[in-house]
Amino acid sequence: MVEQKEKIAVLNEFEVEQSVGLSTSEAAARLEKYGKNEFEEGKKKTKIQMFLSQLKDPMIYILMVAVVISAALGEISDSIIIVAVILLNAIIGMVQEAKAEASLEALKKMSSPLALVRRDGQLIEIPAPELVPGDIVVLEAGRVVPADLRLLETVNLKVEEAALTGESVPVDKDANFVAEGEVTLGDRINMAYLSTNVSYGRGEGVVVSTGMNTEIGKIAAMLNNAVDDMTPLQKRLADLGKLLGILAVVLCVLLFGLALIQQRDVLDMLLTAISLAVAAIPEGLPAVVTIVLAIGVQRMVEVNTIVRKLPAVETLGAVSVVCSDKTGTLTQNKMTALKVYAYDDLESVVPEEMGERKDEIGKKFDELIKGFIYCSDAEVTEAARIGDPTELAFIDLGINFGVSKNDIYAVAPRINELAFDSDRKLMTTVTKNNETGKVVAYTKGAVDRLIPLCTKIIGKDGEVRPITSEDHKNIEAASHNMALDALRVLALAVKENDDTATEADLTFFGLVGMIDPPRPEAKDAIKVFDGAGVRTIMITGDHKDTAFAIARDLGITDDSNQVISGDELNNMTQEELNARVENLRVFARVSPENKVMIVNAFKSHGYIVSMTGDGVNDAPSLKAADIGVAMGITGTDVAKGAADMVLMDDNFATIKKAIEEGRNIYANIKKSVLFLLSSNLGEIVTMFVSILLGFPAPLAAIHILWINLITDSLPGLALGMDGGDPHIMSKQPRDPKESLFAHGGYATVGAFGVLIGAITIGAFLMSPIGVLNAQGLDITVANINMALQDEHLYMQSQTYAFTVLGISQLFNAAGMRSLDRSFFTINHFNNKMMLLAFAVGFGLQIAVTEINFLEGVFGTTELSISEWGMLTVLAMSPIVLHEVYVLASHIFGKNSKAKKQANAA
């Protein structure tokens, strides 16, 4: 026989006899040659490496240069503050990134701890890592497969492969199967794979692959080789950092040019250049963004989402494609009976569809339901659900109608059985009633196998009569009706007064149709996604017809042409899939490699791709996606380790809440960035314009650092904690290429920055102009500079500029909460963090001018109440601009809308 020759060839290839196994010495030699049956660990970053990686940023480089120059010029306090800023940012980043790469560790733990092997002719148990190619392994129900095996013997062997292939039903294994040509992973029924579970029967096989060479080992290698792309926000901030770095260098060069032209002191201008460079860099920005994202992580916990990687909060908000594993994610991972057929009557057993007829249907089909329960070895208790998913569905069906397995066995226990095997595709149990002594045999199995064995049928009236061709047509029609809904159909027959379990001369009783049903909440989430411009893609190990039926029910697609199988994918290049992927919605019978191809195909079109899943087979695609989302309850450790986020409730609908939260967080971060940059632009305008006009520096480097870190960062953080937009899920996803400054961002930064710079310069010139007016001198640059040679007057002028700059930025932040509404219609009390930031910022600004010690550190002078009043009124200028900005937006917005309507008409 062909299959026997193939088995012998495999044993010869590994130089082993099935009845004897490897010798102890040969096993030791192979262990030395092939290594242990475990996974290679990915190289992990040390904490020092993580800390140093935080310093690889253009903004940090410029600050480091500022530290060196400040120290060289004797400005030690400035140097200390800048170093503190650098260390603070690096520590925050390191703490957030200090996530151990758990993927490979989890894979390693999945290996079977013990394996039953034949060595030196004896059956012994050994640690699974000691298995070598050529070992003969014995499999039993309940054991985990300890390596990849070519099966040599199978007796009713079923293996649960959902975590590897996505197939929700245990796979019948057949050692005699010989593949012709290439066969997908899920169809290799003569193989058993590492970390899959034996759910039924027994078998024996030879180890063909161990460790990294197993199918799961290949997944581990893919996880090792996966490259973590930067998230969109990281890319934006990196680009921004480079831009600001270039700006700082350009400004410093221009400043030195001016110094030479104006014949200023070079060392003074070097300090001024440092101040300008510091002004160009929003030192608080990395910390603010990191903290806002961390706050987002806490918000995610409230919607049952654990974020493992901080930037994922923002990335999820930009998602435009959700690739979802079907089993356990879009579906319940629980086979459920939906229809029954008996007495020539097809009925739904879905509670919502039965309604008030439930008792009637339960009574009518009571004996059919009991028959299927008798053909189930599954057990359901409060503590656990044990057994084959299909047989568990029979128990659940009984529970729904008040039929208990324990109760019916108490009346009529099982006295004989003929176990299911893959050749017969049948199972027979024999029961005997304790009271009447009546013996009834129940046989369940595939429709095409059971019907030919039936000579009689239970008719409409419950009477047993000979089966006719018309009956065959009716049964076939009922089975076809169920198959159209992709239900798995099983038939039941009975035979009375025969305790031998003979499968012949049977009486047909009925059918049951089952499916792993969709999660009800998943359907609603998909509908919301459609309105939010997020495309849902279903990826599954099931066959095309089953996949399409589920997808149609969920509302993913109603076009079978949008379904493609793994076999078709295997014959396509990545480029060919890229060209077709826009018109595909469902991917059936896929391998782990296929899943990575699918994710990459969508990414090639510029989509931000999320992949959800729970199995080992999902891990590479979870890593390949922009954001991977694992299931927390049913998810394997591997999936959780590879994912960016974990859903604690395994609820697909939770992804909707997470995306909504992510969108709002990004909007808040954008507000923070625009605020911080407009504030920094105000500082640049203040410094550069003052020097350009020939004035001395209105601000010291320490002033700018203080404002950037204290009076900027706190309000920036408060903006990041603003409430969400209730209509955000009715908008399209953000274009991943969209700039942080899209939709008027440049104008916002420019307008508020120039205004803040102008009023700060104005505040700086108040004192010298007042002195010149008192002395009756002309207001010229030369006269102003002459007046500022008075050290006290210069300190007072810098104090005015410092105070107006700091307070104006507080008012700027309060208005930046919404550029669509008047400052006076914003509910300022629903963001308590902003109120606190405003109060703390104002208080600290008072402290640096009124506390003697801080006056010495910052080089400031005390201010009178009247001076505080005058400077505060000037600092409120951003509110005036805010009102003008909102009014202009409404006017131009209405005009634009009217123009569009006119064009449409």
Report the catalytic residues: 325
Alpha-helix residue ranges (DSSP H) falling in 213-365: 215-225, 232-262, 266-280, 284-302, 312-317, 351-354, 358-364
Q: Which residue type sits at 156?
A: N
Cα angle for residues 126, 132, 138 (degrees, 5° grid): 55
Provide CB contacts within 8 A for 10, sequence distance 6+. Answer: 150, 152, 206, 208
Residue 199, classed as helix, strand or coil, is strand
Q: Under a CB-based contact definition with an 8 Å cutoff, are residues 779 and 769 in contact?
A: yes
Q: Under a CB-based contact definition with an 8 Å cutoff, are residues 160 and 196 in contact?
A: yes
Buried b (16+ CB within 10 A) or exposed e, 700-717: bbbbbbbbbbbbbbbbbb
Query: Residue 632's closest CA among 616, 651, 618, 617?
Result: 651
Residue 633: CB atoms within 10 A of its CB come to 13
Sign, Cα dihedral of 768, 774, 779, 785:
negative
User: How far from the centroid of its chain's Cα atoms is residue 862's Cα?
Assistant: 54
Query: Residue 171's closest CA among 183, 180, 182, 181?
Result: 183
Q: Under a CB-based contact definition with an 8 Å cutoff, are residues 755 and 686 in contact?
A: no
For residue 164, CA distances in Å to 613, 615, 619 come to: 11, 6, 10
Query: Residue 136's closest CA among 67, 72, 207, 88?
Result: 207
> d(Cα 193, Cα 208) in Å, to the nearest integer?
10
For strand 586-588 and strand 191-192, is the pairing parallel, antiparallel, or unpaired? unpaired
Burial of 642 (0-12, 13-18, 19+ CB in 10 A): buried
Query: Residue 276's closest CA among 652, 691, 620, 604?
Result: 691
Q: Under a CB-based contact definition with an 8 Å cutoff, are residues 421 and 473 in contact?
A: no
Rg, Å, the chain Cα set: 37
Strand ranges (E), 271-424:
305-307, 321-325, 336-342, 345-348, 379-380, 385-386, 414-421
Query: Residue 170's closest CA among 434, 397, 377?
Result: 377
Burial of 174 (0-12, 13-18, 19+ CB in 10 A): middle
For residue 474, CA distances in Å to 118, 342, 428, 442, 478 come to: 52, 10, 24, 21, 6
Tokens for 61?
């480089």
Q: Which residue type sits at 454?
A: C
Residue 497: CB atoms within 10 A of its CB come to 8
Alpha-helix residue ranges (DSSP H) falling in 173-231: 215-225
Kind and range of the H or E run holding 642: helix 637-642
> d(Cα 393, Cα 169) in Å, to the nearest integer?
12
Tokens for 803?
């105070």
Q: Under a CB-based contact definition with an 8 Å cutoff, are residues 525 and 588 in contact?
A: no
Query: Residue 291's closest CA among 98, 471, 95, 133?
Result: 95
Q: Which residue has the tokens 């050994």?
A: 126
> d(Cα 386, Cα 396) in Å, to the nearest integer?
12
